[in-house]
Amino acid sequence: MSDRASAPDSGESAANDGRRRKTEEFRTWLFLSFVMAPILSVLIVSGYGFVVWMYQLFAGPPGS
């Protein structure tokens, strides 16, 4: 299944798994914090602004 090299010794293979897991965790954290969270924030805020705009179409401008 995986094409990554694994040593036959189980201790070394466990350490490799650990290193790989650590790398994956770090990349996942990077992706979440600097890609997913900003994109989500923009979507949520612009979605909110859009909903308020639509509401103002029939409720009138703010203050009315």
Residue 34, both tokens: 């600097």
Q: Closest approach of Cβ 6 to another protein, in Å?
A: 14
Q: Smallest distance, Å, CB 61 to another protein?
A: 4
CA atoms within 13 A on the CB side of 49: 5
User: Under the criterion CB under 8 A, does residue 4 sit at the interface with another protein?
Assistant: no
Q: Does 5 bind another protein (CB under 8 A)?
A: no
- What's the rounded Cα separation, in Å, for the pair 44 and 22? 31
Q: Does 58 bind another protein (CB under 8 A)?
A: no
How many residues touch another protein under the rule CB under 8 A: the total is 31
